[in-house]
């Protein structure tokens, strides 16, 4: 299977790899997927009092497309408000990376990851 | 050293130049192009002679009678002919077949078809080393069992079944034994005079011969009967009709001749390279060899790199051609059924890489592979949340995963 140049670029030079302090009240963590399914994504966002995402970090266990989807996602969410970040759709990610149909689930996982991270932050703030 | 490095010899092998040369002599007007079925002129006679020489070369490697070799298009066809052929011929005797969960799809899918036709199939479980114990075969045989079909060497994990012992079991119980030897002929000793095997599937392209040609060994004493699956001009004593592909057959014959001649030397060289590869990776944390370490074919290493997913590893090995038991390299999204049958959990199956070493692999290549694999595993573990959790001492089995 041939990968798109964008997948290869993110895979070879993944952006924003790492961890944020998961116990900080400004940090939301979303961990989705399962080892048994072959992919686990952990996305963390650091959000200021104006609801703007100041930093994002990820780590992913999974195929090249899963790594690229999460790397791209961290680039996209930085500087966005929580409201804007919720609008990111898996189809946008799949389109940007030109994922083949068999890899679309990687982009779905990325969408799940940002939603989970936002939910985590909101529950820490007592908003949900 | 040429890049990329081919390290997928269990999938297929390049044709040996000596084989290619023999084959090229059987194509053009100046060459041996005739139809071996033509009895009325020298072109036919010469072609027939070449086919019979090749038949003897194949028989020599297996220590059997050339008249027991039936040409087919490859091991898949041989598996189909053996299993369906026996099942249909002996169906009045019984309709029960025994095979294993880790057979090649050519056997499993053929058995599934027979189930649809009303046959009953028992799928034996391998032990955790990947081996089918002769006792398990003995225990599964019933009054109505007509056939046991087991592979000699497993294509994914390279482990070797004790066919000699299994043959003793089946022969004593009056049940036929079919062995898929696509991965073993020329790589593990096969002696059909000693082994009580009734049918054996063979492939040329796993032993430096061409694709599209194989053979089925059909024992004469005691005689094994088959119902033909391909009907036509009655070639191959009625068992497999179709004009014989002389260049392919000559290629397989030459490949088997070389395999016999160079067996000992080649095996020793490949084992040395394999041990070098394993030795270069084994000291890394959480690296596991899948399948028996001792009852194993020379060229195969199947290794799980825990906490790293197989397809992403393959992506990192830009210049190394290997294959993975990970779901992601297949269309099915299911990880390897072979590794799962060994009792590996799904994540270890997802993390597996199959290395296949062969005739043209060099020491220099293995050194390159060791350093690149180590680098790739380290890089991907830095990216892996599972590795981080493992390092923090979190038991991944206890985590509630949001499965999707």
The CA distance from B316 to B384, in Å, is 14
Cross-chain residue pair B312–A35, CB shorter than 8 Å: no
Query: Catalytic pick from A82, A88, A106, A116?
Result: A106
Cross-chain residue pair B312–A11, CB shorter than 8 Å: yes
> What phi, psi does B38 have (nearest 5°)?
-75, 115
- A106 φ/ψ sector (left φ>0, alpha ψ -120 to 50, else beta): alpha
The CA distance from B282 to B167, in Å, is 36
Per-residue pLDDT tens digits for B1-46: 899 999 999 999 999 999 999 999 999 999 999 999 999 999 999 9
Q: What is the pLDDT of residue B328?
A: 57
Cross-chain residue pair B384–A17, CB shorter than 8 Å: no
β-strand pairing of A27-34 with B145-151: unpaired
Both tokens assigned to B193 = 């005079």
Cross-chain residue pair A61–B328, CB shorter than 8 Å: no
Cross-chain residue pair B312–A19, CB shorter than 8 Å: no
How many of the other CB atoms lie within 10 Å of CB of B177? 25
The CA distance from B245 to B211, in Å, is 12
pLDDT band at B404; cut points 50, 70, 90? low
> What phi, psi does B381 have (nearest 5°)?
-70, -30
Tell me which of A63 and B217 has the higher pLDDT: B217
> What phi, psi does B109 have (nearest 5°)?
-70, -35
pLDDT at A15 over 60: yes
Q: What is the pLDDT of residue A126?
A: 86
pLDDT at A2 over 80: no
Smallest CA–CA distance, residue A80 to chain B, in Å, is: 24
Residue of chain B whose Cα is closest to the Cα of A17: B383
Helix pair angle (B17-24, B246-282), 10° resolution = 170
Q: Report ipTM (2 d.p.).
A: 0.93
**Which of A62, A74, A97, A109 has the most B C-beta neighbours within 10 Å, making it the best mutation to test the interface with B?**
A62
- All residues of chain A having their beta carbon less than 8 Å from the beta carbon of residue B384 are 59-61
Cross-chain residue pair B384–A60, CB shorter than 8 Å: yes
Q: What is the pLDDT of residue B327?
A: 58
Q: What residues pair up with B96 in beta bridges, in sequence order?
A: B120, B145
Element (H, E) at B22: helix B17-24
**Which of B384, B390, B397, B400 has the most A C-beta neighbours within 10 Å, making it the best mutation to test the interface with A?**
B384
A49-77 average pLDDT score: 95
Q: What is the pLDDT of residue B151?
A: 98
Q: Give the closest of A11, A35, A63 to B401, CB-based.
A: A35
Query: Catalytic pick from B26, B64, B111, B328?
Result: B328
Least confident segment among A118-122, B161-165, B326-330 = B326-330
Residue of chain A whose Cα is closest to the Cα of B307: A61
A99-103 average pLDDT score: 89
Confirm whether pTM is higher than 0.80. yes
**Which of B305, B353, B385, B389 has the most A C-beta neighbours within 10 Å, making it the best mutation to test the interface with A?**
B385
- All residues of chain B having their beta carbon less than 8 Å from the beta carbon of residue A17 are 382-383
Q: What is the pLDDT of residue B399?
A: 85
pLDDT at A63 over 80: yes
B165 Cβ neighbours under 8 A, 6+ residues apart? B134
The CA distance from B80 to B97, in Å, is 14
Q: Which residues of A touch B (CB under 8 A)?
A: 1, 3, 11, 14, 17, 19, 31-42, 59-64, 66-67, 102, 105, 108-109, 112, 116
pLDDT band at B370; cut points 50, 70, 90? very high
- B383 φ/ψ sector (left φ>0, alpha ψ -120 to 50, else beta): alpha
pLDDT band at A38; cut points 50, 70, 90? confident
- B256 φ/ψ sector (left φ>0, alpha ψ -120 to 50, else beta): alpha
Mean of the per-residue pLDDT values for chain A? Answer: 93
pLDDT band at B333; cut points 50, 70, 90? low
Q: What is the 3-state secondary structure (H, E, C) of chain A?
A: CCCCHHHHHHHHCCCCECCCCCCCCCEEEEEEEEHHHCEEEEEEEEECCCCEEEEEEEEEECCHHHHHHHHHHHHHHCCCEHHHHHCCCHHHHHHHHCCCHHHHHHHHHHHHHHHHHHHHHHHHCCCC
Vertex B83: Cα angle to B77 and B89 (nearest 5): 120
pLDDT at B402 over 80: no
- All residues of chain B having their beta carbon less than 8 Å from the beta carbon of residue A29 are none
Query: Catalytic residue at A63?
Result: no
Vertex A52: Cα angle to A50 and A58 (nearest 5): 145
Residue of chain A whose Cα is closest to the Cα of B379: A12
The CA distance from B244 to B34, in Å, is 10
Element (H, E) at B273: helix B246-282
Smallest CA–CA distance, residue B396 to chain A, in Å, is: 9
- All residues of chain A having their beta carbon less than 8 Å from the beta carbon of residue B311 are 38, 63-64
Both tokens assigned to B361 = 């692999």
β-strand pairing of A27-34 with A39-47: antiparallel
Cross-chain residue pair B328–A38, CB shorter than 8 Å: yes
B371 Cβ neighbours under 8 A, 6+ residues apart? B280
> What phi, psi does B297 have (nearest 5°)?
-70, 150
Q: Which residue has the tokens 């054996």?
A: B200
Q: Which residues of B touch A (CB under 8 A)?
A: 307-309, 311-312, 315, 326-329, 331, 333, 335, 345-347, 350, 382-388, 396, 401-404
pLDDT at B100 over 60: yes
pLDDT at B332 over 70: no
The CA distance from A116 to A119, in Å, is 5
């Amino acid at each position: 299977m041939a990968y798109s140049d964008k997948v290869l670029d993110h895979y070879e030079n993944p952006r924003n790899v790492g961890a944020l302090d998961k116990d900080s009240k400004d940090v939301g963590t979303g961990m989705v997927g399962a080892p048994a399914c072959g992919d686990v994504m952990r996305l963390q966002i650091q959000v200021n009092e104006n609801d703007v995402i100041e930093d994002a970090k990820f780590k992913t266990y999974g195929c090249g497309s899963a790594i690229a989807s999460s790397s791209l996602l961290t680039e996209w969410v930085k500087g966005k408000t929580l409201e804007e970040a919720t609008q990111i759709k898996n189809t946008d990610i799949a389109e940007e990376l030109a994922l083949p149909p068999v890899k679309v689930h990687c982009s779905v996982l990325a969408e799940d990851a940002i939603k989970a991270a936002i939910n985590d932050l909101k529950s820490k703030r007592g908003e949900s | 050293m040429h890049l990329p490095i081919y390290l997928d010899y269990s999938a297929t092998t390049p044709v040996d130049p000596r084989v290619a040369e023999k084959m090229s002599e059987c194509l053009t007007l100046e060459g041996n192009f005739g139809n071996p079925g033509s009895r009325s002129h020298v072109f036919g006679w010469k072609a027939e002679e070449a086919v019979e020489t090749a038949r003897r070369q194949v028989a020599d490697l297996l220590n059997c009678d050339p008249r027991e070799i039936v040409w087919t298009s490859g091991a898949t066809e041989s598996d189909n002919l053996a299993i369906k052929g026996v099942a249909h011929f002996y169906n009045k005797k019984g309709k029960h077949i025994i095979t294993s969960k880790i057979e090649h799809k050519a056997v499993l899918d053929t058995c599934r078809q027979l189930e649809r036709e009303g046959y009953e199939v028992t799928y034996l479980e391998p032990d955790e080393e990947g081996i089918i114990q002769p006792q398990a075969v003995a225990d599964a045989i019933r009054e109505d069992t007509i056939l046991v079909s087991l592979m000699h060497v497993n294509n994914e994990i390279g482990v070797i079944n004790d066919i000699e012992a299994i043959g003793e079991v089946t022969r004593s119980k009056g049940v036929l034994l079919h062995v898929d030897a696509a991965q073993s002929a020329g790589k593990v000793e096969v002696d059909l005079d000693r082994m009580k095997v009734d049918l054996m599937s063979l492939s040329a392209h796993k032993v430096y011969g061409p694709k599209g040609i194989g053979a089925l060994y059909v024992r004469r004493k005691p005689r094994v009967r088959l119902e033909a699956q391909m009907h036509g001009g009655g070639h191959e004593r009625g068992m497999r009709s179709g004009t014989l592909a002389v260049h392919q057959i000559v290629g397989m014959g030459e490949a088997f001749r070389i395999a016999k001649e160079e067996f000992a030397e080649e095996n020793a060289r490949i084992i040395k390279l394999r041990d070098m590869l394993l030795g270069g990776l084994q000291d890394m944390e959480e690296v596991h060899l899948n399948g028996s370490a001792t009852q194993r074919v020379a060229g195969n290493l199947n290794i799980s790199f825990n906490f790293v997913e197989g397809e992403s590893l393959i992506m990192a090995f830009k210049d190394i051609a290997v294959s993975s038991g990970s779901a992601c390299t297949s269309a099915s999204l299911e990880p390897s059924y072979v590794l799962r049958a060994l009792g590996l959990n799904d994540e270890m199956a997802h993390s597996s890489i199959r290395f296949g070493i062969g005739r043209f692999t060099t020491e220099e290549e293995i050194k390159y592979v060791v350093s690149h694999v180590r680098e790739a595993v380290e890089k991907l573990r830095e990216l892996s949340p599972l590795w981080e959790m493992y390092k923090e001492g979190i038991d991944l089995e206890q985590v509630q995963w949001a499965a999707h």
